[in-house]
Structure 1
């Protein structure tokens, strides 16, 4: 079977689309190795240190949380079998009995408490802690009962616990491996860790003693193939069974190829430009509004994403809890004349040299971006739009750095 998965996005700007290609097969077969090619290697295989896709693609198969979200974004039990709201700040979970970690140690309430204490109160705390709202920790009631606590009433707590990065880890393995746990995680999932060769591959294999339905394949190999064209060639020659981040330009031809069936759906990722409203000149709402009007989002969708993404209608995707159509295309249409006018009202006007007058300088912003396929191509396109409004906007492209930090630890104005 040959499968192609597309998970490309564009900035606020854009909503991801997910596509899959597969050769028709008469029935599922058990056994064998699934080889997946993807563009980048993980930073870590532990959620506390890695919340981006390259790591999550792998560890989500090995680590399980209390809850998960199904393909319709509905909450489903995993390591928890039921829950009861005890108070506005306490939810009690009954845990699945008889489950063991890959190292043979028992899964229980103490492991849940250990995982959350380590993540929320460690030094430093887990990267996902900032995504967890008012989650405060866990208390073990007995071996198979645990209370999840929040600092205040928090409606999305169940969805927070269903996040991909909320997997419960083996306390014994963490204590035994120390820092090396991040390269060889131990959980309760249907696959267990085998090998990680940096920038080459990660291998996981079916866990024979998994508590639930056993995985169909014996082994999965995640290979690093940075070049998009090489990933597509690997799929077409049979060197890979699945490709992550395929070439959007090749999707139309593959749709017409009778050897493949294309399945597409709207993804749940919105890529956006985040502005630091506490730093000049972005502390002036007119400057922020000018930036929104200055960028031709449709051109980015058409020319960079090549039809593999759609326009964002709000800060959340339609499948995400809390989504609202904010009609961003109507509120902030592409309009360079309006952008220039807003900058002028904010005191930034072109001088004789076209660089700037008024306050003596045009808006200058530092711009940080993460390492993701096609995403580094988006800031220059954003920058080009701004340049047509007011030259002199500094673009600082940063790869694989925290969104809020610059190369020297300084705070940047903008992050994509």
Structure 2
């Protein structure tokens, strides 16, 4: 009897161990990402690969950006804005500690922004925070920002990865041993292979379902496909579009297709004839078949755009119908502009697949209305010199990936060469407006002006194409900002 009871006890114990092991496995996730980050400090490096791993996982800001580009409370639970838009007073969350056990308070906020604005700062977005005139510690849970001018995007900007809060005790070593206040703490970085994070059990906010997350660096598409099929990884935030068919009908996986902040545009030199004539730009707009581009370049996994704005943004309006695909209308506009037989132009293409493939298709589409494009492939250094800096180009194709960057059109010296005082004044008002309803209205007006003036050829928004284990939920479908946010990811039956 004693032997039988002992055997039974062993079986029960073994079952408990196995159940516990399975439970532990089900609370961990292995995520494949394309690039290894050069550092793990998002406040000192511009690489997207840094933010993919640590943003909202290891590090947090006063505000946080949600899946659709909206602003939510972060380490600041609430705030007030003065009537003149120059003073922001933030109330900080209580009971927050950094992963090394040091406490978080207003002094850390002041340290973070003083560090961003320092003369020797390595912050990639330092210019965004230039309007900050002073940061004042009111008390440990209250901090006041004074701005030199109203800045409508301020709450968004302090929620970017570049403005996450760091501590003076650990900031110097964040590049290799990142210490933040987020729901996951850094464990190890095996160079060339992976970064491991574990749930921070004394996290001040809602406890995430995952206990561990491993980011594996797999840049080769074939290797990534094999790793997913073999079950060696549980998902990836962005699979090559041409490979999605492998997973689309496999019940073991789910494919999440969303948008990014990458507006792919036919960049047009508005200062140069014949593109300084709006009729020519309108003709080109009528000649563009966006769906053919999307099908041919991104295998159907992108969303058409009619202006310079991301479709997931709450301020977005659909302007794709402004100049519908109409070859007869395009030819008539060219004739009206004095080009009945069309004209020849150059199209400089940077070394990315979406640009060079789009160039081939656009050349075929434009040929139908008499515009003969010479395709010139250039490397990034030459593109930056010729197109971006010297404005030595007719047309180009590139994705603009910065969030809420419609304001670039207010600068007549920008490489598009678009000079519209009405638009510039509108952007100045938008930048100074903090009321969300007013900002939405102004952003809609700005999008409409760009569409109406056909400043560029607005083609499509680059897609985020995630492939995940079918039993995982809570991954972001859209990518309004760089990062694979872990807090909502969980396993389900």
Q: Is the alpha carbon distance of 1:43 and 1:135 closer, same or farther for their aligned partners in structure 2, counting shifts above 3 Å?
A: farther
The yes-or-no answer on 1:64 pairing with 2:40 is: no
Shift of 1:42: 2.3
What is the correspondence of 1:76-95 to structure 2 with a 5 Å cutoff? 76-87=72-83, 88-95=85-92
Contact persistence 1:62–1:191 (CA under 8 A): yes
Question: Normalising by the residue count of structure 2, what TM-score does the alignment of the two structures yield?
Answer: 0.62
Contact persistence 2:297–2:358 (CA under 8 A): no
The yes-or-no answer on 1:160 pairing with 2:157 is: yes
1:217 counterpart residue number: 210
Q: Report the Cα distance in structure 2 between the residues aligned to 1:299 and 1:340, rounded to whole angstroms.
A: 22
Deviations 1:91-117 (A, max 9, x none): 100111231222332212121122222
Q: Pick from 108, 128, 136: which aligns with 2:125? A: 128
Q: Report the Cα distance in structure 2 between the residues aligned to 1:135 and 1:283, rounded to whole angstroms.
A: 39
What is the correspondence of 1:88-237 to structure 2 with a 5 Å cutoff? 88-123=85-120, 126-130=123-127, 134-136=131-133, 138-175=135-172, 177=173, 181-237=174-230
Deviations 1:3-25 (A, max 9, x none): xxxxxxxxxxxxxxxxxxxxxxx
Give RMSD over aligned pairs.
Answer: 3.8
Residue-pair matches, total: 364
Q: Report the Cα distance in structure 2 between the residues aligned to 1:270 and 1:151, rounded to whole angstroms.
A: 30
SS of the residue 1:127 aligns to:
coil
1:397 counterpart residue number: 379
| Runs of 5+ consecutive residues of structure 2 not aligned to the other structure | 1-21, 400-493
Shift of 1:291: 6.0
Question: Normalising by the residue count of structure 1, what TM-score does the alignment of the two structures yield?
Answer: 0.72
What is the correspondence of 1:45-56 to structure 2 with a 5 Å cutoff? 45-51=40-46, 53-56=48-51
| Runs of 5+ consecutive residues of structure 1 not aligned to the other structure | 1-27, 351-355, 357-361, 370-375
Q: Report the Cα distance in structure 2 between the residues aligned to 1:378 and 1:71, rounded to whole angstroms.
A: 24
Q: Report the Cα distance in structure 1 between the residues aligned to 2:236 and 2:206, rounded to whole angstroms.
A: 25
Q: Report the Cα distance in structure 2 between the residues aligned to 1:29 and 1:128, rounded to whole angstroms.
A: 42
Q: Pick from 10, 29, 35: which aligns with 1:40? A: 35
The yes-or-no answer on 1:307 pairing with 2:305 is: no
Q: Which of the two has greater helix per residue?
A: 2
Shift of 1:69: 3.4
Q: Is the alpha carbon distance of 1:363 and 1:304 closer, same or farther for their aligned partners in structure 2, counting shifts above 3 Å?
A: closer
Q: Report the Cα distance in structure 2 between the residues aligned to 1:339 and 1:196, rounded to whole angstroms.
A: 58
Contact persistence 1:138–1:148 (CA under 8 A): yes
Shift of 1:85: 1.8
Q: Report the Cα distance in structure 2 between the residues aligned to 1:296 and 1:381, rounded to whole angstroms.
A: 14
Contact persistence 1:136–1:151 (CA under 8 A): yes
Q: Is the alpha carbon distance of 1:117 and 1:274 closer, same or farther for their aligned partners in structure 2, counting shifts above 3 Å?
A: farther
Shift of 1:366: 4.7
Q: Report the Cα distance in structure 2 between the residues aligned to 1:410 and 1:155, rounded to whole angstroms.
A: 28
Contact persistence 2:263–2:310 (CA under 8 A): no
Q: Report the Cα distance in structure 1 between the residues aligned to 2:383 and 2:33, rounded to whole angstroms.
A: 26
Contact persistence 2:306–2:322 (CA under 8 A): no
